[in-house]
Chain A
Amino acid sequence: MATSSYRDITLNGLWKNNPALVQLLGLCPLLAVTGTTVNAMGLGLATTLVLLGSNVSVSLIRNFVPDTVRLPAFVMIIASLVTCAELLMQAYTYELYEILGIFIPLIVTNCAILGRADAFASKNSILPSALDGFMMGLGFTIVLIILGTLRELIGQGVLFSGMDLLFGESAKSWQINVFSDYPDFLFAILPPGAFVGMGLLIALKNIIDDKLKAREEKNSAEVVTGSKRVRTTGTIA
């Protein structure tokens, strides 16, 4: 991992090693606040900021902290950054801060952040660590937003409601009522809906991965031409 290229880091964060879909880390906020797009976006942004900050700081101090006390040190850094994020949200998006409630301070316990700090930032220099933190955060945020949008659409039949909580007054008109006269589908709004939705998203990712793998194998299988013997069993490798 020490010398992974920037391209690999990006790909890992967004797809191959996505914190939500593959590592299954940070599921508590993921399942709890994805009732609407705007909640998901708010929490995703806060998490990304914290991830970016913690990866950079951990990478900076990586040579000065003894191995035995590294975890408490990392947690302290993360907790301070989460407090910053919390205060920022309190200052600029107070209503959203109220809605997300306990789940903002709980970002401290998000294993994705500590996991990246320990597995990546403590072993890499500052630039790759920053990119890794940003990409992991982005991957997490994208999954949050997809799940939030799906649950909002299925649960209430609307899209992008309450975006003004994050983007100011002008975003009030962004709401799209997809179905008129829609009976609220409570299951999607309640936590079990998040579990089922998450399961389906993971399944979808695995299907896409399988398809990609099959295509790659098909393309890489070279046919040997000009050989004299013809094999009738097995495949030509």
Chain B
Amino acid sequence: MGLMTITSPHAHGPRKTANLMRVVVIATLPGLFALTWFFGWGNLINVIWCSTVALLAESAILLIRKRPVSFYLGDYSALVTGVLLGLALPPLAPWWVSVVAVGFAIIVAKHLYGGMGYNPFNPAMVGFALVLISFPVAMTTSWAAPTHLLDNPMSFLDTLSTIFGFSTQSIDAFTMATPLDVYKHEISHSVAEDVVKNPVFGQFIAHGWEWVNIAFLAGGLFLMKKGVFTWHTPISMLFALALMSLIFGWDADQTTPPLLHLFAGATMLGAFFIATDPVTSAVSPQGKLIYGAGIGILTYVIRTYGSYPDAIAFSVLLMNFAAPLIDVYTQPRTYGYAKAKRGTKEAE
């Protein structure tokens, strides 16, 4: 019998986890470059430090769980968690903040729930939210000022010794509140025209941050083109955030304007690299639309009415909670059935 019929799907090029994760890491590089260009060496050091800690923590917990270490390290998922945390944490965050965030992300949020593919919450965001709640001082005063605004920007070695606590000099001269933070606090007793004179807003939207966000947007579009994720989650999230800020924040003299919402803070990083995590998001296209829109709406609500300037981590975690329920109600119609099985209803 020399004839062999191969049925569909005629897929080729196995989509292994490792390949996907590697592409994700590569796609963060433009954003990392922009962060380093505008805010100094802090994020680059953080990314390297967080990745190292992530790989060590993953190896340790795999050994304790008696799982094959090299196999699971080879899927790069721990590396992605480390890189995302390195990008999200403030550039001058002390080394122990990163260690606590990464350690909690890998050990508690990922492995105590069963490891890769079983975690209900995005590990990187669990780690981020933990340190955000636990170390409010370190997490709000460690944002580096744009290097172009400083007379003597920190050198690589200065940054390194600041992060690892060898430097005795105060970092106050090198840090600045983030644009979202400044706008939120200034606008309550001022008008938009005066607020944007603050150098942190630069010439366009927010000094440096707009390029960082554009870089992450570019990386995200590259991932979308590669088919790593579909357009539903990020576009729905950005659309919901923009719509919310257009409806409720159209008056720039009252609240943060839409462009600042979209291009300052962690918006693009969150939309394309964090919300799209396949393990913790909703599954069906319709579900992803709801999931993404939920993150966008929550981000606007927490940024505007909450006490934290940025809200990506909290919104993503809250929608992680909701994802299983969304899945139950957005299950697509199974072929051969007249109607989809939604919720607890039986399919007909």
Q: Are A186 and B134 in contact (CB under 8 A)?
A: yes
Q: Which of A163-194 contact B (CB under 8 A)?
A: 183-188, 190
A196 at the interface (CB under 8 A from B): yes
Interface footprint category on B:
10 to 19
Number of A-B contacts (CB under 8 A): 18
- Given the complex, which residues of A lie within 8 Å of B138, measured CB to CB? 183
Question: Which residues on the A side are within 8 Å of B192 (C-beta)?
Answer: none
Instruction: Give the CA-CA distance A183 to B96 in the complex, in Å.
Output: 10
B134 contacts across to A, CB distance below 8 A: 184-188
Task: Pick from A186, A188, A196: contact of B136, CB below 8 A.
Answer: A186
Residues 80 to 139 of chain B near chain A (Cβ within 8 Å): 96, 100, 108, 130, 133-138
B133 lies within 8 A of A187 (CB): yes
A188-B108 Cα distance, complex, nearest whole Å: 14
Kindly list chain B residues whose C-beta atoms are within 8 Å of the C-beta of A196: 108
Please name all residues of chain B whose beta carbon is closer than 8 Å to the beta carbon of A190 when the two chains form the complex: 133
Q: Within the complex, what minimum Cβ distance (angstroms) separates B186 from chain A? A: 27
Report Cα–Cα, A122/B76, bound state, in Å.
59
User: Cα distance A185–B132 when bound, in Å?
Assistant: 11
- Give complex CA distance A186, B137 in Å: 11
Across the interface, do B108 and A183 meet the contact criterion of CB distance under 8 Å?
no
Across the interface, do A186 and B133 meet the contact criterion of CB distance under 8 Å?
yes
The answer to whether A183 touches B133 (Cβ under 8 A) is: no
B96 surroundings in chain A (CB, below 8 A): 183
Min CB–CB distance B106 → chain A (angstroms): 15
A80 to chain B, nearest CB (A): 41
**How many Å lie between the Cα of A190 and that of B132 in the bound state?**
13
Closest to B129 in A: A187
Tell me how far the C-beta of A146 lies from the nearest C-beta in chain B, rounded to whole angstroms.
19
Contact partners of B136 in chain A: CB under 8 A: 186
Q: Give Cα distance in the complex from A187 to B109, angstroms.
A: 15
Fill in one digit per residue for A200-226: 1 if any B CB lies within 8 Å of its CB, else 0: 000000000000000000000000000
Min CB–CB distance B142 → chain A (angstroms): 12
Task: State how many angstroms separate the Cβ of A208 from the closest Cβ of chain B.
Answer: 16
What's the Cα separation between A42 and B135 when bound, in Å?
A: 29
A158 to chain B, nearest CB (A): 17
What are the residues of chain A within 8 A of B133 when measuring CB–CB?
Answer: 186-187, 190
Q: In chain B, what residue has the closest Cβ to A155?
A: B134
Output the nearest chain B residue to A196 by Cβ-Cβ distance.
Answer: B108
Nearest B residue (CB) for A187? B134
Complex CA distance for A186 and B100, rounded to whole angstroms: 12
Q: What residues of A have a CB within 8 angstroms of the CB of B137 in the complex?
A: 183
Nearest CB on A from B110, distance (A)? 15
**Chain A residues, CB < 8 A from B108:** 196
Q: Closest approach, in angstroms, between the C-beta of B136 and any C-beta of chain A?
A: 7
In the bound complex, CA of A185 to CA of B136 (Å): 10
Chain B residue at smallest Cβ distance from A189? B134
Interface residues in chain A, defined as those with a beta carbon under 8 Å from any beta carbon in chain B: 183-188, 190, 196
The 10 lowest CB-CB distance pairs between A and B, nearest first, are: A187-B134, A186-B134, A185-B134, A187-B130, A187-B133, A186-B133, A183-B135, A183-B138, A190-B133, A186-B136
Q: List 17 A-B contacts (CB under 8 A).
A: A183-B96, A183-B135, A183-B137, A183-B138, A184-B134, A185-B100, A185-B134, A185-B135, A186-B133, A186-B134, A186-B135, A186-B136, A187-B130, A187-B133, A187-B134, A190-B133, A196-B108
Q: A183-B137, A190-B133 are in contact. List 11 more A-B contacts (CB 8 A).
A: A183-B135, A183-B138, A184-B134, A185-B100, A185-B134, A185-B135, A186-B133, A186-B134, A186-B135, A187-B130, A187-B133
